[in-house]
Structure 1
């Protein structure tokens, strides 16, 4: 059965001259093979593979070539009579711990010890633009993987390559190549990557719209601009008016003392024949006339 594991050798010497401990990382649900790390073993009668609870996983009798698996591992182990290696199937997180091969003969020897760590496959990393970013500033984004993240800025054509490793052996890597941003998330048994183009990630945000009222009005040729302005004059809210005036034959002139309303109308009326003009006028709220008091006459 295929298996996926990752070995880290931590070689220590004991009195027997054999390696003392080897670290192994294995993905949840797959198998792992534990090998004897020496070609020649001392003469023995019995070889045991023992788990972290000191339970026998399998016992091999050299005289009869008999293999005796422990009941709880009966359907989960394969033992090789030639190499004496042990394969454990369908590993779960509860299987994490120490595994040791030991021989019994004229002397007892610890042949090899494995420290097995069972880990889940990593989740997909996430590339996301930071909520505080807005165009036209350089794109600010985050590369995230479960419990760790990297924040960076794509400035023009590049970003800084960064790497963060958490205490649980999970590593997050950020890199940029051309117009692509790559976020890698990995642990000793798996690796996943998300790649995005800069224009896909850093889309231009629309600026906030101003709270203003704009009126677009096309003035009929038979209606003087003054009438349109008079209708808007009664409004309580200041507004911006864009009026397109039609042709007119009026050629009146204004003086500096003329009312602004009449000036706007007159400016339109002075336009060249057959050439529509545009009026930009801010309508101000007109002050209300003062109230008159009624005085009752009295007799002396």
Structure 2
């Protein structure tokens, strides 16, 4: 380094120009090192592009084609602008100073670039629900064996630092909220709050600073529940129109859906409010209201058929059900009437086939006299019955068809003596 610095100072003292241009390139990208054609006179002897002080990449002379060193074949190519070159697929080892040296009447540097190749400077967006944890990752292969320090920063505040041969150092402000992960150099942020939203970077210091990883973290609250209500229904023979309102804690709106025999069509579209999104849409014979953000979602749905007969086949279905109920009711009533009629017929026939008897009274004489105290009143009697047939004409039907006969007694009261 001291030798290169002394060489550059010498060049600055003896050459016309030594302005140094800083260029930052992401690993794997290309970069153009430019020389304006007006800086090179027509009668020049040689122009070379060098990496550090002695390593020549390509040389231009009076010949038609530049000469590229075998070491850089496929990685260095002349650019459209004469004397400019493109460095391709740069790696971290390609970081350093590149200079264009011109030899004409005297030597001078016509262009000089300090190229810094960064592993990654792309910012990764991450959304986290309030109270959850998040992992900030750095792959171990991105960190060289020899480095000065690696620090995770939130804005300009250092959260934790890694130094070779030492344990990670966590700032007291973040104790209990930041912890190193099993994957070396990665960290976990715990119990994130909305105030923790922002950009987190992993900065690696070797000879110079590089950004190894960057995360833009957004902490969000879970969305509030929603409720879907039907305000009005307009039905026709072949369609059904619904006006619905989907409401949440912090919003109130309504969207109209027009439904035919195949689907429902929404008037309007998705509603977005700050970092949340409302959607109202038909799906599978239902209307759904969805409230969501990047970390949570909730929904409420209603069945269209609960509010209107939307499709022809549904109407036919209900008609068939009513016909079936009416038919079943008719058959039940008919069966009951037939049963009652048969029951009355059987009871009448039973009465007509019954034979009654007339009771007869017979006096039975007792031996001995009655006692004196029995004279004032009637003498006690004993009544017996003699069995005989009731004098009644049998019906023609009864004579023809022998029926079971019932025998009754005919009783006659005896005369007093």
TM range (shorter): 0.5 to 0.7
Deviations 1:164-200 (A, max 9, x none): 2526332222222343111111111111111211255
Write the distance in 1 (CA, Å) between the matches of 2:307 and 2:184: 53
Go from structure 1 to structure 2 and tell me whether the alpha carbon gap of 1:156 and 1:38 turns closer, same or farther (over 3 Å shift).
farther
Partner of 1:108 in structure 2?
A: 209
Go from structure 1 to structure 2 and tell me whether the alpha carbon gap of 1:84 and 1:199 turns closer, same or farther (over 3 Å shift).
same
Task: Decide whether the 8 Å contact of 1:152 with 1:159 is kept in 2.
Answer: no
Write the distance in 2 (CA, Å) between the matches of 1:134 and 1:201: 7
Q: Secondary structure at the match of 1:194?
A: strand
Partner of 1:294 in structure 2?
A: none
- The question of 1:72 aligning with 2:137 is answered no
- The question of 1:172 aligning with 2:273 is answered no
Q: What is the deviation of 1:40?
A: 2.4
How many residues get paired?
A: 188
Write the distance in 1 (CA, Å) between the matches of 2:126 and 2:252: 24
Write the distance in 1 (CA, Å) between the matches of 2:163 and 2:182: 10
Write the distance in 1 (CA, Å) between the matches of 2:284 and 2:272: 28
- The question of 1:85 aligning with 2:186 is answered yes
Write the distance in 2 (CA, Å) between the matches of 1:88 and 1:75: 9
Partner of 1:214 in structure 2?
A: none
Q: TM-score, normalised by structure 2?
A: 0.41
Write the distance in 1 (CA, Å) between the matches of 2:257 and 2:183: 57
Task: Decide whether the 8 Å contact of 2:138 with 2:185 is kept in 1.
Answer: yes
Go from structure 1 to structure 2 and tell me whether the alpha carbon gap of 1:135 and 1:106 turns closer, same or farther (over 3 Å shift).
closer
Question: Which residue of 92, 95, 118 maps to 1:16?
Answer: 118
Q: What is the deviation of 1:93?
A: 0.5
Partner of 2:195 in structure 1?
A: 94
Deviations 1:121-165 (A, max 9, x none): 0111221223xx355472211334544745022424532256425
Q: What is the deviation of 1:44?
A: 1.4
Go from structure 1 to structure 2 and tell me whether the alpha carbon gap of 1:84 and 1:17 turns closer, same or farther (over 3 Å shift).
closer
Task: Decide whether the 8 Å contact of 2:26 with 2:119 is kept in 1.
Answer: yes
Question: Which residue of 131, 155, 161 maps to 2:259?
Answer: 155
Go from structure 1 to structure 2 and tell me whether the alpha carbon gap of 1:148 and 1:191 turns closer, same or farther (over 3 Å shift).
same
Write the distance in 2 (CA, Å) between the matches of 1:181 and 1:188: 23
- The question of 1:28 aligning with 2:133 is answered no
Task: Decide whether the 8 Å contact of 2:126 with 2:218 is kept in 1.
Answer: yes
Q: Highest Rg: 1 or 2?
A: 2
Write the distance in 1 (CA, Å) between the matches of 2:135 and 2:213: 13
Partner of 2:164 in structure 1?
A: 62
Question: Which residue of 154, 157, 164 maps to 1:51?
Answer: 154
Write the distance in 2 (CA, Å) between the matches of 1:74 and 1:155: 58
Partner of 1:138 in structure 2?
A: 241
- The question of 1:117 aligning with 2:218 is answered yes
Measured on the aligned residues, the alpha-carbon RMSD in Å equals 2.8
Structure with the bigger percentage of helix? 2
Partner of 2:78 in structure 1?
A: none
Q: Secondary structure at the match of 2:127?
A: strand
Question: 1:216-295 to 2 correspondence within 5 Å?
Answer: none
Q: What is the deviation of 1:79?
A: 0.9
